[in-house]
Structure 1
């Protein structure tokens, strides 16, 4: 696939984010031309990287593929009503503007991979989490689910474009993302179990995210929605045990659910609730994950970070 992408033009929105940064570095290393969209003004001396702040710049360009990752970080800032609207609009509005520009300039990329999250599936109000979700599972009436529903609907509304939706789990990798925050209390030997510790931890290595995007570029399937998550089935306490073993630490203090809710309000759902999700569609189409278990993924990331 990469040989087919050499000298192709790929537009990446949300290019300055964690996944976008990793994806662009990978593309540039393999001689792919990148048009990187960011709301912040950026420049690059790399011959194959062009930063844009406005989709009007697409009028002079040819696009072969698009990866739509735009959206403010869900974990930064308390979920006030104003914050919720910003989170929704940063995704829905940018997606809307992207497709409007593609239509206006008559651009027909071979494939558009548009982001979403497994938060689409919501939580079970009675059990605090959902089991065995796949791409056919229904959403719930909570904020994360409603945000993802709106985000996906905007992308899939444009039926003239070949759009694939990727619902991401928690993405682990070097150089950023949420993992450093998750590892810090373990590194200092402090916090272990959070709440019951039985809440699902559905994750994916950033390297597998990159390969999944490339896989979807060439997919001939009529399927439109894909869970991009490792085929693993662990909970929060299992994550702590694996990370503590690799880090050679012994975290001992539990953090009660009530404390998390006092600190984070509704946003505590990100830590206390969750979904067990399987990448059913990807596996059915023959995608091979490089990191199928948490221990191999964390060991690679932690060891690479300390070298």
Structure 2
């Protein structure tokens, strides 16, 4: 039985990952700021990295971090978002060094926000793992997080740059679908802005795939190969729900409501999972229609 440490274990991705690992007979150590009662023989909750002393780990999945979508990006909020990722990651690697733990592989989270946004709004460029970052907050947040995760050359760390993760029971998808389900808002802004997404099941399978990867590649975009824009998302979701939302939401309204954070909705980049595809990874949900139908109807 192989042992996996999961930080950020109570988050949307972490909770789905825990369920999968336990169903497939892994021993799981879950880090959370709040202690939980374990009802599973193969699950141990810890609230401090000091609990790792005398424990052997096969793999680590580092998902810890405050939700980026909750609350306006004030200066204090930005600092909290950075600290929740960078500080936890730093302490994780310090604990691994202190207790002489060297897992076979560490998967550390990041996001496609690393590539920033296309301010020209032409959206002709498609980013891959070699594309450059930008001097804007969401990109700098990812850069700092990744730099900390890759700071220990003795550990086999792989970075997972995630798109918007779609799945049941959490995440941002229910909020995105609600105005469509109510037959209200459809297009947001121009509607042409890229929407780069991935199904939660493919995220979990990508993690398991990277556990076994012998490649020297460090960075992986974990996104569906399907390139859609916001209006295409609305059209597919409307078809699934059999709705025809008619109200547009102008860009200036989003900017007034969300400030700088509106970049998450109004801007973006197309991103391709080049490294995963080159290594032979197969997406179970490569197109939006199949992904939404599975989530909504399952």
Report the TM range for the smaller structure's normalisation.
Answer: over 0.9
Structure 1 residue 41, shift from structure 2 partner: 2.2
Paired residue secondary structure (1:221): coil
CA RMSD in angstroms comes to 0.9
Paired residue for 2:135, among 141, 150, 155?
Answer: 141
How many pairs does the alignment contain?
Answer: 298
2:183 pairs with 1:183: no
2:293 pairs with 1:302: no
Pairing 1:1-307 to 2, within 5 Å after superposition: 7-127=1-121, 131-304=125-298
Distance 2:39 2:54 in 1: 20
Distance 1:177 1:114 in 2: 19
Distance 1:60 1:128 in 2: 54
Per the normalisation by structure 2, the TM-score is: 0.99
Q: Is the 8 A contact 1:10 1:35 kept in 2?
A: yes
Distance 2:148 2:112 in 1: 17
In structure 2, list runs of 5 or more residues that go unmatched: none
Paired residue secondary structure (1:274): coil
Distance 1:28 1:160 in 2: 29
Runs of 4+ in 1 over 6 A off after TM superposition: none
Q: What do residues 214-269 of structure 1 show as CA deviations (whole Å, max 9, x unaligned)? A: 00001000010000000001000000000011011110000000000000000000
Structure 1 residue 130, shift from structure 2 partner: 6.6
In structure 1, list runs of 5 or more residues that go unmatched: 1-6
Structure 1 residue 128, shift from structure 2 partner: 7.1
Per the normalisation by structure 1, the TM-score is: 0.96
Structure 1 stretch 200-209 or stretch 127-136: which is displaced more?
127-136
Paired residue secondary structure (2:133): coil
CA distance 1:129–1:145, change in 2 (3 Å)? farther
Structure 1 residue 124, shift from structure 2 partner: 2.7
Distance 1:142 1:84 in 2: 12
